[in-house]
Structure formats: structure tokens, C-alpha cells
Amino acid sequence: MRIVPATETFSAELKEFMCAAVQRRRDDDGFGGSRGGGGKSRNAMDLDSDTGNRLVCVTGGVSYLGRAIVKRLLVHGYSVRIVVDCPEDKEKVSEMEADAEMASFNNRITSVVSRLTEIGSLIKAFDGCAGVFHTSAFVDPAGIAGYSKSMAELEAKVSESVIKACTRTASVRKCVFTSSLLACALQNSSFNNLDHSVINEESWSDEQLCIDNKLWYALGKLKAEKAAWRIADSKGLKLATICPALITGPDFFNRNSTSTLAYLKGAKEMYSHGLLATMDVNKLAKAHVCLWEGLGNKTAFGRYICFDTILSQDGAENLAKDIGVQIEKICGSSSDSDGNADEEASPSNLQISDKKLLDLMSRTLRSCYHES
């Protein structure tokens, strides 16, 4: 992902709107046969077709990222069932429905309380949905440790439960899974700066490195994504995983502080190797929906890296101000920061490649625009 220049913004947004309109028109044309009284039930639908069922499930739909994905899905004509794991989060769904931006979509948002570690409970939550966006975010109940080792284990356990439930729910045919760039970029060669390397969709972080450096958030995302792929591959579930950089956007730290701080543990090493990047939450939501629709028309597959900007010295300083920490927490000492500033164009011999996602999104936009 890259930031669209100002001169291109209107054109890009117009094409996106037209693309969504084309998709909704196709869906409206195909609804007649499945909505009548004698039509098929949701679970008896033609599961090889993605056009009949516009109901999707989102885990963690009240989180910072989850809200953005829900809104994007609604804009694209989907109905959304939000899975929450406590009554308090169910109240947050009601707050979302009352939000002015969501007002026109109220009849297309529902919620269900489900234990994310219990497969049977998840099957009930997923029943009738065409697929699942697994975006669940975790916080430390004590509010002190940020993201602990036990939370990393919980992340992996929930991943297993969600994917197993997907494979056992008759209506579900595909899943878009939110991982992290940290599941790709933290390799021994990266941190030791041994040789030139490109971090892409074939890259996996080193589990022992995460453990040795107590990078629990990275460990949780790594183990969770690997578990998802293991189960999906064995059961034939259509799966795409997206590995975003640090998620930013409007008021991101106040609304997503635990994940932000957990992501930035080890920030100095990532920054020094050119691996500290950010991703705007709304653009990330668009990418999720693009992957979902790409799974349906078989243009999307596998893993996707997603980022906007690799942080320079100025970018790191702005990030430090946004989250209220000293710049040394992100860049290291002042002398180290000065050294990186001199090498801003090429901070290390490492590169992060998001070409696969860029290609997919450009093809999707081009196809919809021409067909409109």
C-alpha cells in the first residue's frame, strides 16, 4: 500500500464507489432465487458460489481495526454479524449502531456473544454466514503488562478454534485472517544484519528470536497465523492472511494503546533495520475487503504484506509524540538517531515488499472500473 497523491484522491475514491456499486448491482440481480419462501436455506446454498450470501461475520468487530472493517463491509453492501466475547462488548455494538456514520446501516448490523476458545459456540455464531473476518484483538485484563506471554498462547488457541469452527460450519467457505508484519519480519538475519534480504509473503519470523527477546505480541501473531494455515490447508478452507504494519489513523493510540505498545516492543531494532512501518486503519480495512472479494473470484490467495510508510527519523519523532514516549524508545539514543537520519534513503540492507497486495488491489479496481 502507498499513500495516494492528493491529485489522484478524487479519481481513486470515485472508482472505488463505482466498483462497489457494480458489485451490489450484481448481487441484487442474483438474490431473487434464494430469498423466496421455497428457496434454499443458507446452509444448503451452493457453497461454491460467493454471490448468494452477503452476510459475513467479524470477530473483534468493536476493536479499532474491527470497526473500520465493519464500516467498509457495510459500504460495499454486506450485512455484518459481529462476534463479541462479553456483554460489555455487545453494548459497544449498540453504540456503533447509534453512531451517525452507521445510522443508515442499522438493519445490517447484528451481534452475538460467543466464547472465542469454544468451537461449538463459534459454530453457532458463524452459522448462516458466508465467511469470517478474524480480527480479534486482545488486551491484558490487568492493564499493566501490555501483551504477555500468556496472551500469545491465547492468541494461538483462539486462532485454532476460529479456523476449526469455520471448517465445521456448513455456510462458511472462506476466511480473511488479520496477522501482523511482525509474523514475517523478525528473523535472525534481520536483527543481526547479516546480508541483503527482502521481507515478503514467503518470510516467517523466527519463533525462538521472539521468545528470547520477549516479543510476545510478535510470537502470538506468528503462532496464530501458522495455526490458521495448518488447519485451513488440511481442511480445504479458502484462507487469505493479511500482515499489516503498525496500525495508525485517527486517535489510534487512545483507541488501540495496548496493541500499539505491544507492537513497538523491539522498535529500536526494527527502526535500525528499516522494518518499522505503519499502516492507516481505513486503507487496511479496504485491503481486507479486497482480499475477501478476491477469494471469491480466485484472484486472492495466501499471505499479503500491507504497509503505508517505512518510518524515517521525522516519522519516528511524530509517532513518539502521538503515543507520548521519548524518541529514544523508538529510535535508540540521539547519536543512533542522527546516524539513521543521514542514511534515511536506505536505512539498512533490508526491504519490505507489498507488491503482491498492490498488484491485487490494482487489478480489482481496474476490473470493476472497466465493467461499470
Q: Which residues are catalytic?
A: 221
Q: How far is CA 229 from the centre of its chain?
A: 15
